[in-house]
């Protein structure tokens, strides 16, 4: 269980850092975020909205407890990453650089499964202590 927890926090930390650093330019409507999202056809208000949602998703994943909110956060962040990949591929066509999105998506999926693995182990421990 301790090994699983350590791996979970490393992967979740890396994933959260990626999402946090990608949300800051969106929140601040930085010129490069505005240009990039405008190129994809998204308005400025959507760019800031996505930045807020990424930030809230990261907070939900990092704060202990609230398993239902974590489920929604994981789903929302996955939709964001897949939507971003799809948008870039649709507008610009496929480029090998698009494959870099595999890394954050992989971290998200690994974090999600490790989160559930830790919850199952904790539930088994609670049941065995109750006996």
Residue 131: inside a domain, yes or no? Answer: no
Q: Does residue 89 surpass a pLDDT of 90?
A: yes
How much is the average pLDDT of 33-51?
96
Q: What share of the chain is helix, strand, coil (3-state, %, to 5)?
A: 90, 0, 10
Return d(Cα 19, Cα 114) in angstroms, integer: 18
Short-list 15, 50, 10, CA closest to 33: 50
Is residue 48 situated within a structural domain?
A: yes
Domain that holds residue 86: 2-125
- pLDDT band for position 6 (cuts 50, 70, 90): very high
In a domain, 64, yes or no: yes
Domain count, the chain: 1
Whether residue 57 is contained in a domain is answered as yes
Q: Is position 130 within any domain?
A: no
Does residue 131 surpass a pLDDT of 80? no
**Assigned domain for 84 exists:** yes
Residue 118 inside a domain? The answer is: yes
For residue 63, give the DSSP letter: S
State pTM to two decimals: 0.90
């Amino acid at each position: 269980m301790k090994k699983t927890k350590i791996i979970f926090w490393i992967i979740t930390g890396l994933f959260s850092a990626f999402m946090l650093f990608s949300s800051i330019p969106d929140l601040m409507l930085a010129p490069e975020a505005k240009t990039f999202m405008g190129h994809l056809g998204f308005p400025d208000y959507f760019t800031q909205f996505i930045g807020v949602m990424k930030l809230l998703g990261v907070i939900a994943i990092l704060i202990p407890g609230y398993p239902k909110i974590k489920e929604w956060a994981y789903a929302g962040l996955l939709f964001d990453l897949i939507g971003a990949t799809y948008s870039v591929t649709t507008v610009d066509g496929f480029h090998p650089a698009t494959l870099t999105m595999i890394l954050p998506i992989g971290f998200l999926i690994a974090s999600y499964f490790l989160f559930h693995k830790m919850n199952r182990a904790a539930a088994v421990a609670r049941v065995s202590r109750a006996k």
